[in-house]
């Protein structure tokens, strides 16, 4: 499974990612290894508690990240983007696995939308790296190394996003209420223009999380790779 989940903050990407992660381990002999969400400041660490030996970021570390200059923010995020899309060695093969599984939240699309809007980088000028250039490079390489990637847009109505923001305020939230419609539109635009061929759209407005997940499963079925199917069969045989 190779998934990139994108969507406005409070749309439900993290909730859906957690359900997909658990589901992959339930139906497959070897499920998704981890959830990656490294591309929205200050949460550049990205790994959930218990997923690695290292602990999550402290409030002091989040403040330090937010104090970084725009140039350092740009460099850090660009290197993180490129690092995650290339093949990497794993424990099962001395040559490394070219087609490894992954579950990304945000990735290049989130970075391209939030960076110029809130973090003062990714804007085309002589001292910066235009995020359009970075996005094109990420997608080009992603499709070379992982052509069966599925892009999932998680969206919700603007008033629903605003209500969730008020009901669940976050110390390090990114979006501003007056920007909700703009951010929603930008995610729609980048999703539509993406060259990733496999695409899913999920609207979480006033829909229970379990229903959203069930709809994801329904829409994802045609995109199961041969590797996915083999591991599903292996898991089924373990129960016999």
For residues 47 and 143, which has the higher predicted lDDT (pLDDT)?
A: 143
Separation between Cα atoms, residue 206 and residue 235, nearest integer Å: 34
Of the listed ranges 3-7, 19-23, 63-67, the least confidently predicted one is 63-67
- Cβ atoms 136, 89 nearer than 8 A: no
* pLDDT value of residue 58: 84
Q: What is the pLDDT of residues 71-107, one digit of tens each?
A: 899 988 988 888 888 765 554 443 344 447 899 999 9
Separation between Cα atoms, residue 35 and residue 41, nearest integer Å: 17
**CATH architecture observed for domain 2-238:** 3-Layer(aba) Sandwich (3.40)
* Pairing of the two strands 88-90 and 93-97: antiparallel
Separation between Cα atoms, residue 137 and residue 238, nearest integer Å: 41
Q: Residue 155: pLDDT band by 50, 70, 90 thresholds? A: very high
* pLDDT value of residue 33: 84
Does this model's pTM top 0.85? My answer is yes
Q: What is the pLDDT of residues 11-56, one digit of tens each?
A: 999 999 999 999 999 999 888 888 888 888 888 875 655 555 556 7
- Cβ atoms 99, 93 nearer than 8 A: no
With a cut of 90, say whether residue 158 has pLDDT above it.
yes
Residues 109-128, mean pLDDT to the nearest whole number = 86
* pLDDT value of residue 87: 66
- Cβ atoms 122, 129 nearer than 8 A: yes
Spatial strand order of the sheet with 150-155 comes to 35-36, 102-105, 2-6, 150-155, 198-203
Q: What is the pLDDT of residues 198-240, one digit of tens each?
A: 999 999 999 999 999 999 999 999 999 988 999 999 999 887 5
* pLDDT value of residue 91: 45
Residues 145-170, mean pLDDT to the nearest whole number = 95
Of the listed ranges 68-72, 93-97, 171-175, 180-184, the least confidently predicted one is 93-97
Q: Take residue 157 and report the two structure tokens written for it.
A: 């109505």
Task: Compute CA distances 165 → 139, 173, 208, whole Å.
Answer: 31, 9, 17
């Amino acid at each position: 499974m190779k998934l990139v989940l994108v969507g406005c903050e409070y749309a439900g990407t993290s909730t859906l990612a957690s359900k997909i992660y658990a589901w992959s381990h339930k139906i497959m002999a070897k499920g998704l290894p981890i959830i990656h969400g490294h591309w929205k400041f200050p949460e550049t660490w990205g790994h959930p508690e218990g997923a690695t030996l290292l602990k999550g970021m402290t409030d002091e570390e989040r403040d330090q990240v937010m104090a970084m200059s725009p140039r350092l923010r740009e460099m850090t995020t660009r290197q993180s983007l490129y690092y995650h899309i290339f093949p990497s060695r794993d424990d099962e093969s001395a040559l490394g696995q070219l087609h490894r599984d992954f579950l990304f939240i945000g990735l290049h699309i989130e970075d391209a939308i939030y960076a110029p809007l809130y973090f003062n980088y990714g804007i085309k000028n002589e001292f910066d790296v235009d995020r359009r250039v970075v996005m094109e490079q990420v997608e080009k390489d992603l499709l070379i190394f992982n052509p069966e990637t599925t892009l999932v847009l998680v969206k919700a109505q603007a008033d629903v996003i605003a209500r969730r923001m008020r009901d669940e305020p976050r110390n390090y939230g990114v979006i501003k209420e007056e920007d909700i419609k703009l951010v929603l539109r930008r995610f729609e635009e980048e999703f539509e223009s993406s060259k990733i061929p496999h695409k899913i759209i999920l609207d979480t407005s006033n829909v229970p999380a379990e229903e959203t997940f069930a709809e994801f499963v329904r829409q994802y079925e045609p995109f199961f790779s041969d590797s996915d199917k083999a591991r599903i069969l292996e898991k089924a045989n373990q129960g016999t």
